[in-house]
Structure 1
Amino acid sequence: MEGRTITKGEAESILNRQESHFWDFKSATSGGATIQKIASALANAEGGEFIVGIEDPKTGKGITRWQGFGSIEDANWIQQSLVDHVQPPIPYDIEYLRVKGYEQAGWACLVTVQKSPDVHKTAKGEIHQRRGGENARLNGAQITDLSLSKGARSYEDQLLEDYDLEELQEEEELHYFLKSYSPTMSAEKFVKRQRLIDRKTLMASVAGAILFAEEPPTVVPKRCSVKIARYETSEKEPDRKYLKSSPESIDGPARVLIDRTLSAVTQLIQSVPVLSADGTMSPMNYPPEALKEIIVNAVIHRDYNISDDILISVFDNRVEVRSPGRLPGHMTQENLFTDRFARNPSIVRLLNKYPDAPNKDIGEGLDTVLSTMKAAKLKAPQFTVHENAFVVILEHTPLARPEELVLQYLASNEEIVNRIARQLTGIESENAMKRVFYKLRDAGKIEPVPNRSRARAAWQIKKP
C-alpha cells in the first residue's frame, strides 16, 4: 500500500489529540493482541481511529513521540491482525503517514475502523467494546446485550438517490469541517473513507446529508428539522389555544442545527417569567449545559427513519424535548445512565471530530444534565419512552421541599394563596397543596389569614 508525507503541523495536530471514545495511540512495538483488542473494541462500539507508531506522552514530547516503522512492509502484520486474527474480520481503512523533514522517524499506520453489524472476537475469543478511552472486556449479559444491538442496519446508512458525491463534496459545512481535520485530505477522499458515499454508485448516505448538507430536509426523504413551540400554560396536555404562535422551524447541518436550536430555545425560555421563592418574577433559566446536552442527544440519537421533526415545547413551568424514535438497541430507562448504544454511529463519531464538538464528552451527557440541574437547585429531569418517541422534561421547579418554599415566600410576602403556592412548588393538586399548609400549621409555623372566605383563603406566618 502507498503512503504519504504530511507536514510537521499536521503531525503535531495528531499528536495533540487526547485519547477518547473514538481515538487511541499505539506503539510500533505493540503486539498483534493489542491491535486486535483496540480494533475489535471500536468495531463493537461506534467505530473510531487509532494510529500505530506513536509513543506514549510519558516517553517524550512533541514530534519525538513519532517512532514509526522503517518501511510500510514492516507494518503488514497490522492488517494481518485485523483480517486473520479477529473473527469476523474488522471493517477498516488504512493509511501510512510520515512527517516531512523527519522521515527517519518512520511510517505511522493510521487505522479507521467502522462500526460493524457483527460482534468481533480476538484470537483469544475475548470480546471488547470501546467505552470512553478504555477497551472494556465484556462477559455474560453484556455480550448478550451487544449481540441484540447488532445486526440492524441503521437508517443513517441508507443511500440517497438524488444526492451524490458531486453535491456532498461541494457542501460548505464539509469544507468548514475539513479545515481543522488532520491529516489533510480532499473532500472526496474523506467521504469515501468515512463510508458517507457508496463507492460504486457514488450515492451519498443519510448520515452524510445530516452532517453536511446545507438543508438536510431537501435531500433526506424524511422530516428531520427541529420545531420549537411556546405554550402559555402549565397544563400537561395543552389545548392548541395556548399555542402562542406557529412553531418555529430550524434546519441546517447537524453542528449548525444544534447551535441554532440552542440559541432559539434559550432566547425563548428567558422570555418566560416565573415566580421566584421570594415572590418576585424573574426570567425562566436553566443550566446551559443541561439544555445543550438534551438538544445534542435529540439530534444525534433520534431515529431518522421516522418522518417527524424533533419538537421542543416551552411551557410556563417546563421544557419538553420530544425526539422521534424509542430507545435504540438494548437501551432501556433502567440502564440509561450505565450503558450506551448509538443508533447513528457515523453521525455521533464524525460530529465528535469538530474542534469544539457538541458531543465532546461521550457517555457523560445525561450525567451532566443531572448534576447541573441539581447544582441549579432544580428538580431532576424526567425521561420517558412513548410509543414512537423519547421525551425529556426539564421542570422549572425548585429542588427544595414545598414547606421550605412556602416559608421562604412568606419571609418576603405577607400571605400566600393556594394558586401561588402550587405555581411555586410545582404541586398540581389543590388538595395536595392544602396538606402542605396543614403540615406547617400543625408545626406552628403558619396560620390562616383571619376573615377570608374559602375562595379567598390565604396563609400567613403565625403571629406570636
Structure 2
Amino acid sequence: MEERKISRKEALEIINKQESHFWDFKSASGSGRNIQEIASALANAEGGDFIVGIEDEKQASGIDRWKGFLNIEEANWVHQNLAGEIDPPIPYDLEYLWIESLERIGTCCLVTVQKSADVHKTAKGEVLQRRGAQSLKLTGGKITDLSLSKGARSYEDQPLSDYDVDELTEEEELSYFLENYSLVSTAQKFLRRQRLVNKKNGEATVAAAILYAEEPAAVVPKRCSVKIARYESKDSVPDRKFLKGTPITIDGPARQLIDRTLKAVSEIIESVPILGTDGEMAPVKYPPEALKEIIVNAVIHRDYNVSDDILISIFDNRVEVRSPGKLPGHMTAENILTDRFARNPSIVRLLNKYPDPPNKDIGEGLDTVLSAMKAAKLKEPQFILEDNAFVVVLAHTPLARPEELILEYLKHNPEISNKIARSLTGIESENRVKNVFYRLKKAGMIEPVPGRSRSRYAWQLTEKGAAVDSSK
C-alpha cells in the first residue's frame, strides 16, 4: 500500500474516465459487498482497476465527485474486504491518492486487480465476472466454463532473461504510453504494479515486450510478427506461382503493429479490382471496422507460445487472417460469438489503457465484424478452426442471392457468361452457376443468346426479366 499526491488536472482525468470492462468507480460510503463484487469480477475476467472515493456523476460533477476518506484508517474496510472476504484472496495492489492543495477533501483508494488462476467468490459465495461495464453473476455451466478457462497459464507471463526493466524503461512506446496515462507516477512503479517485470531480478515478461519493445521479434524467443502475402488467385490452396512479390513482414509494439498492419492491408486490398454488377472493375471495399477488428483480435488473442507469425493472405476474392494457436480455454466455434476468454489478459487490459485503444469495445469485436459486413451487403465472415490456428475469412462476395446479382448485372450489360457469373457471385462451381441460370430461365427471366457456340455461350434478359426490379 502506497500514498501519492496528484495534481487537480490528474484528478479530473480520473473522474472523467468512463466506466468500462477494466475500470469502475465506487463511493467511499459504499459497502464491503460492493468491493467484493467488483474486485472478484475483475479477477475472474482480465483484471482491471477501480477507485473508491468517487461519487456517481448523478450526485455531483467535476472535482466535487472526489469525496474520499479523511485518512487512511477510514479506508481499512476496503483492504479488509479485498484480503479477507473474497475466497480465495485476489491478487491486488492498493494506492492512496491525495490531490495537491486539496487534501481536505480526502484520499481515494486506487485498487489494481490482476487476473488470477483461481475462480473467486464473494463472502456470499457468488461468482461474478466483468463484462463490458457490468459485473455479471455466473451460475451453473458458466462457472464450470470459467474454471476450465482458468487452468492454463499464459505464455505472456513468461520472463525474458535477455530483456530487463532497464532496457524496457528506455523504450519510446512505453514513454508514449505513460505520457498519456494518468494513474502512474513512474515507469518502474507502473511495471511492478502491472506484473510486467520480476520484482527480484528485473526480468521483463513476454507481455511487456509485445506491448512496448521497438522490435518484439528481437527479444521474444518465438516468431511474433505479421506477414502479409498477396496471391493473384481465387484457389482455396493457391500455387506459389500466384504469389505477387515478396510477402511483407511487419513488426513493432502491439499498438503500432496493429496500425501498420491495417494500413498495409488496406493499401493492398484497394489495388485488387473486382467485377461489380454494373460490369465495371472497381477496387474492393471492405468496411474498415471489420478489417480492424479481425487484425486486433489476431494480435491480442494469438498464442505467443506458438513460434509462427500472424499470416494475412489477400486473394482475388477474399482475405484470410490466420492467427497462431487454437482457441483459448473453453472457447469453441459454437460459442465464439456469445462467450469470451482472453488468452493474453495483460496485453488485452494494458492495450485498452491507451487514450484511443484499438480494442475499445471489449467483447464486441466479432459482433462488430458481422454487423459491418452485413451493413456493407457482404457475406458474413467464416471462422475456421485448424490444427494449430484460428482463421477468419472475409469474402468479397455480396450478400445478395446469385439470381439477384445476375439480374442486376444484366440491367447494365447485354449478356453474361458462366465465367463472369462465377466471378460476380463467388460460386466456384461451374455446374452450380448453370443451375442458377436454369432457375432464372424457368422463371422466364433470362434466355440464351441466339447463335452462340458452346465456348461462347451466354445469357440475356427476356422482356419479363427486364421489367423486374432486381434491387428489391
Q: Does 1:231 align with 2:231?
A: yes
State the secondary structure of the residue aligned to 1:405: helix
In 1, Cα distance between the equivalents of 2:368 and 2:2?
A: 44
Q: Deviations over 1:134-163 (max 9, x none)?
A: 111111000000000012110000000000
In 1, Cα distance between the equivalents of 2:152 and 2:375?
A: 39
- Per the alignment, residue 271 of structure 2 pairs with 271
State the secondary structure of the residue aligned to 1:83: helix
In 1, Cα distance between the equivalents of 2:457 and 2:422?
A: 14
| AA partner of residue 391 (structure 2) | V
- Per the alignment, residue 102 of structure 2 pairs with 102
State the secondary structure of the residue aligned to 1:128: strand
In 1, Cα distance between the equivalents of 2:116 and 2:2?
A: 26
Listed as ranges, the gaps of 5+ residues in structure 1 are none
State the secondary structure of the residue aligned to 2:412: coil
- Per the alignment, residue 358 of structure 1 pairs with 358
- Per the alignment, residue 337 of structure 2 pairs with 337
Contact 2:184 2:190 in 1 (8 A): no
- Per the alignment, residue 202 of structure 1 pairs with 202
- Per the alignment, residue 164 of structure 2 pairs with 164
Contact 1:230 1:315 in 2 (8 A): yes
1:353, distance to aligned residue in structure 2 (A): 0.3
| AA partner of residue 34 (structure 1) | N
1:79, distance to aligned residue in structure 2 (A): 1.2
Q: Deviations over 1:78-124 (max 9, x none)?
A: 11111111011110000000111221110100000000100001111
Listed as ranges, the gaps of 5+ residues in structure 2 are 465-472
In 2, Cα distance between the equivalents of 1:183 and 1:135?
A: 22
| AA partner of residue 426 (structure 1) | G
Please show how residues 423-434 of structure 1 align to structure 2 within 5 Å. Answer: 423-434=423-434
In 2, Cα distance between the equivalents of 1:399 and 1:281?
A: 18
Q: Deviations over 1:246-293 (max 9, x none)?
A: 110000000000000000000000000000011100001100000000
State the secondary structure of the residue aligned to 2:58: helix
Q: Does 1:149 align with 2:149?
A: yes
Q: Deviations over 1:352-406 (max 9, x none)?
A: 0000100001011111101110010000000011000000000000001111110
In 2, Cα distance between the equivalents of 1:106 and 1:120?
A: 31
State the secondary structure of the residue aligned to 1:369: helix
State the secondary structure of the residue aligned to 1:95: strand
State the secondary structure of the residue aligned to 1:411: helix
1:205, distance to aligned residue in structure 2 (A): 0.1
**Compared with structure 1, are the counterparts of its residues 42 and 415 closer, same or farther at alpha carbon in structure 2 (3 Å cutoff)?**
same
- Per the alignment, residue 453 of structure 2 pairs with 453
- Per the alignment, residue 219 of structure 1 pairs with 219
Contact 1:11 1:183 in 2 (8 A): no
- Per the alignment, residue 313 of structure 2 pairs with 313
1:463, distance to aligned residue in structure 2 (A): 4.8
| AA partner of residue 81 (structure 2) | S
| AA partner of residue 250 (structure 1) | I
Q: How many residues align?
A: 464
| AA partner of residue 408 (structure 1) | E
1:183, distance to aligned residue in structure 2 (A): 2.6
| AA partner of residue 171 (structure 2) | E
Contact 1:6 1:183 in 2 (8 A): no
| AA partner of residue 99 (structure 2) | V
- Per the alignment, residue 138 of structure 2 pairs with 138
- Per the alignment, residue 192 of structure 2 pairs with 192
In 2, Cα distance between the equivalents of 1:353 and 1:86?
A: 26
Contact 1:206 1:220 in 2 (8 A): yes
- Per the alignment, residue 51 of structure 2 pairs with 51
- Per the alignment, residue 244 of structure 1 pairs with 244
Name the % identity. Answer: 70
Contact 2:115 2:345 in 1 (8 A): yes
1:2, distance to aligned residue in structure 2 (A): 3.8
Contact 2:48 2:114 in 1 (8 A): yes
Contact 2:2 2:94 in 1 (8 A): no
| AA partner of residue 123 (structure 2) | A
Normalised TM-score (structure 1) = 0.99
| AA partner of residue 13 (structure 2) | S
Contact 2:447 2:461 in 1 (8 A): yes
| AA partner of residue 123 (structure 1) | A
In 2, Cα distance between the equivalents of 1:122 and 1:308?
A: 41
